[in-house]
RNA sequence: CGGAGCAUGGCGCAGCCUGGUAGCGCGCUGGUUUUGGGUACCAGAGGUCGCAGGUUCGAAUCCUGCUGCUCCGACCA
């Protein structure tokens, strides 16, 4: 019985052009019944502050299992072989000629990526693991801030972009394609138009606000000159999110919330990313900050008070549903001078005490914007406010360069021997080096560690190949696992294995059980 | 898009100027050796010299066109 009306509704939506379907919406069946699951009362939806509570209450029926974030393109690697003899890790002894900067060279040498065309890369297993770890942190921090994941397509109809006027404005950087019916499509460089279209199709009341939707999807910008490996590719993976709010103040609260969630996201990746006032570019809007990781190879010149690099969010709990608390954190992180060359102000910079005045270079790893009604107005994304007036929704957008981060992290964390992964994004939690492959006691000890670490929820990479010790060490150093367990007959006679920190180079001998325990503790601190 | 350069086994390169049918190192395969920081030796496999045309008895090499990639600049997450 329920199936018949649904089918009718489907037909109605399919046959009408989008604008008619939209005009028809007031008579459409209540959408809440369609988007919510059976266990939830549609009437429970209310303003943001209350939604937090309502969501928590209905979690058992509404919330997907925690691991649902990892399906599809983000599928976990769990279960894949993690012993080197059965893995695919094509490391290179020599550096390919095309790589100029250190992260690009190391990613190629460590077998993380392979270039397929200018600015377009395959992600080999090791690189793919890093990419997924980065994605996972982004997802977790978005969820923590109350933002909701969806997935929009890579290809978009040109008509949507004609509505906003950006189809012509965007220029050569946008990759345009034509399908067999001669319809104009484009490979999305960003998604403001599409998300606005989704919003206007389904939301019409301030009671459904605030709302922040995001996705992590491949984008394409046809850069004139791609370079620096994945740091400036043409195809790139990006988290982009969009907030919808009833007025400017609420939208600025969302802006601040994003700033804090981004700070936490970068910190978890082992990065110090400084929010800097920025120029808005083709997205538009006045209120915008870029997040920059300091690195000599950065593409932007940055001017800053060096005390900003000491600011840390750490483990402090920030209540994302309390705009004042969120704003206070933002002020803490933005009151010291920090700007890119685009917005640099010599006079203001001169007021920074000379001892703290620093000029350097930075890699941009994210940007947040408030742009008000720039898209909602031309595209008719309206909501009825509490006073009963139809007003354009206030929006902002926010991006994190996911694939670029893989390169940026390496730029910020490497030495002459190779990569040094921060614990938060490492492709494997530790390496196991078997110094005497084929020796039954050594093999058994390694197998024991391999199993015990996995039982603790860790993912070790076990080098069970016939290589010499030197070659195994060199490979481990190159691929940058933060911890290494070295197992050989000499140590086993004393009942110990060796745990080495990649970053400091320090080693410590301990029993296998103690080493497993220790690694478990180290990674427990990075959850 | 303006300027410059490169394209030769999987990777890094030599050979081209002065045309005679391809070589080195690493890697790979088999063997011996070695085994706590890229071991040594022996024997092998692997190349339409980016593509198309031209000159020539003969082209990796000289000429023309094309394609791809890289670097500098303007542009960008």
How confident is the model over A79-133, as pLDDT tens digits? 888 999 999 999 998 888 788 889 999 999 999 999 988 999 999 999 999 999 9
Euclidean distance between CA atoms A330 and A326, whole angstroms = 6
Pairing of strands A155-157, A235-245: unpaired
3-state secondary structure of A245: strand
Neighbours of A455 (CB within 10 A): 10
**Cα radius of gyration rounded to whole Å, chain A:** 25
Output the distance from A232 CA to B10 C1' rounded to whole Å.
26
Closest nucleotide to A488 by C1' from CA = B36
Closest C-alpha among A227, A221, A237 to residue A115 = A227
Q: Is A442 helix (H, G, I), strand (E, B) or coil?
A: helix
For residues A173 and A98, give the distance between their C-alpha atoms in angstroms, rounded to a whole number.
23
The gap between A225 CA and B2 C1' (Å) is 13
Of 3.40.50.1980, 3.40.50.2300, 3.40.50.800, 3.40.50.150, which CATH number belongs to A430-524? 3.40.50.800
What pLDDT is attached to residue A76? Answer: 53
Sequence-separated (6 or more) residues with CB below 8 Å from residue A236:
A218, A219, A220, A221, A230, A401, A402, A403, A404
Question: What parts of chain A have a pLDDT lower than 50?
Answer: 1-75
pLDDT of residue A482: 97
First to last CA, chain A: 47
Cβ pair A422, A408 in contact under 8 A: no
Q: Tell me, in Å, how far CA of A319 is from C1' of B33?
A: 65
- A117: enclosing H helix or E strand: strand A113-117
Nucleotides of B under 7 A from a protein CB: 1-2, 11-13, 25-27, 34-39, 68-77
**Closest nucleotide to A235, Cα to C1':** B77
**Which nucleotide, over all strands, has the C1' atom closest to the CA of A342?**
B76
Distance in Å, residue A70 CA to nucleotide B75 C1': 35
pLDDT score, position A172 = 84
Question: Distance (Å, rounded) from C-alpha A141 to C-alpha A144?
Answer: 5
Which residues are CB-neighbours of A162 under 8 A, at least 6 positions away? A168
Distance between the alpha carbon (CA) of A299 and the C1' atom of B73, Å: 14
Beta pairing class for A287-294 and A357-372: antiparallel
Burial track A105-120 (b if 16+ CB lie within 10 A, e otherwise): bbbbbbbbbebeeebe
**So what's the pLDDT on residue A253?**
96
Please report, for chain A, how many H helices and E strands are present, in that order: 18, 23
Q: Is A128 exposed, middle or buried (0-12, 13-18, 19+ CB in 10 A)?
A: middle
- Does domain A105-415 fall under CATH 3.30.930.10? My reply is yes
For chain A, what is the mean pLDDT?
Answer: 84
pLDDT digits (tens, 9 = 90+) for A126-163: 999 999 999 999 999 999 999 999 999 999 999 999 99
Angle in degrees, 0-180, between the axes of helices A125-144 and A402-412, rounded to the nearest 10? 110
pLDDT value at position A516? 97
Q: Is the dihedral of CA A18, A19, A22, A28 positive or negative?
A: negative
Pairing of strands A430-434, A460-463: parallel
Q: Which residue is nearest to nucleotide B34 (CA to C1')?
A: A468
pLDDT of residue A286: 63
pLDDT confidence of residue A282: 58
- A275 vs A367: CA distance, rounded Å: 8
> Domain residues of chain A, as ranges?
105-415, 430-524
The gap between A98 CA and B2 C1' (Å) is 22
A407 closest-nt by C1' vs CA = B77
Cα–Cα distance measured from residue A191 to residue A335, given in angstroms and rounded to the nearest whole number: 31
Query: Nearest nucleotide to A507 by CA–C1' distance?
Result: B36
User: For residue A215, which phi and psi values (nearest 5 degrees)?
Assistant: -145, 165
Nearest nucleotide from residue A477 CA, by C1' atom = B37
Please give the Cα distance from A309 to A273 (Å, whole number): 8
């Amino acid at each position: 019985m329920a199936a018949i009306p649904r089918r009718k509704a489907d037909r109605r939506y399919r046959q009408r052009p989008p604008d008619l379907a939209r005009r028809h919406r007031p008579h459409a069946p209540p959408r809440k019944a369609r988007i919510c699951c059976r266990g939830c009362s549609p009437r429970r939806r209310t303003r943001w502050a209350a939604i937090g509570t309502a969501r928590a209450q209905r979690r058992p029926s509404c919330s997907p299992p925690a691991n649902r974030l990892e399906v599809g393109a983000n599928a976990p690697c769990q279960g894949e072989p993690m012993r080197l003899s059965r893995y695919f890790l094509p490391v290179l002894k020599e550096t390919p000629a095309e790589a100029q900067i250190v992260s690009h060279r190391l990613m190629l040498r460590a077998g993380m990526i392979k270039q397929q065309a200018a600015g377009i890369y395959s992600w080999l297993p090791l690189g793919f693991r890093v990419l997924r770890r980065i994605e996972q942190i982004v997802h977790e921090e978005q969820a923590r801030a109350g933002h909701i994941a969806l997935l929009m397509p890579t290809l978009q109809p040109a008509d949507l972009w004609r509505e906003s006027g950006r189809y012509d404005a965007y220029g050569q950087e946008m990759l345009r394609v034509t399908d067999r019916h001669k319809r104009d499509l484009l490979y999305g460089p960003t998604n403001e138009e599409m998300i606005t279209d989704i919003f206007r199709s389904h939301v019409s009341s301030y009671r459904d606000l605030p709302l922040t939707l995001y996705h992590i999807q491949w984008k394409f910008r046809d850069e004139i000159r791609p370079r620096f490996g994945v740091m400036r590719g043409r195809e790139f993976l990006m988290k982009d999110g969009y907030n919808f709010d009833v007025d400017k103040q609420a939208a600025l609260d969302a802006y601040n919330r994003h700033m804090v969630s981004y700070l936490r996201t970068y910190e978890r990746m082992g990065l110090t990313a400084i929010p800097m006032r920025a120029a808005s570019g083709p997205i538009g809007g006045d209120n915008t900050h870029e997040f920059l990781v300091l690195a000599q190879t950065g593409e932007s010149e940055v001017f800053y008070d060096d005390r900003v690099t000491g600011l840390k969010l750490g483990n402090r709990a920030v209540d994302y549903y309390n705009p004042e608390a969120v704003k206070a954190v933002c002020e803490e992180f933005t009151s010291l001078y920090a700007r890119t060359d685009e917005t640099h102000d010599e006079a203001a910079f001169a007021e920074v005490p000379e001892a703290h005045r620093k000029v350097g270079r930075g890699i941009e790893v994210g940007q947040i914007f408030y742009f008000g009604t720039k898209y909602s107005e031309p595209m008719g994304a309206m909501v009825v406010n509490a006073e009963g007036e139809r007003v354009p929704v206030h929006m902002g957008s926010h991006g994190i360069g996911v694939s670029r981060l893989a390169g940026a992290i390496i730029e910020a964390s490497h030495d002459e021997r190779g990569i040094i992964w921060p614990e938060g994004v490492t492709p494997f939690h530790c390496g196991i080096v078997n110094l005497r492959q084929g020796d039954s006691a050594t093999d058994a000890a390694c197998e024991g560690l391999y199993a015990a670490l996995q039982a603790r929820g860790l993912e070790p990479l076990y080098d069970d190949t016939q290589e010499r010790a030197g070659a195994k060490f060199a490979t481990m150093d190159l691929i940058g696992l933060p911890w290494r367990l070295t197992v050989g007959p000499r140590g086993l006679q004393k009942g110990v294995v060796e745990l080495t920190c990649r970053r400091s180079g320090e080693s410590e001998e301990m029993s296998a059980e103690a080493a497993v325990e220790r690694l478990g503790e180290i990674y427990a601190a990075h959850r």
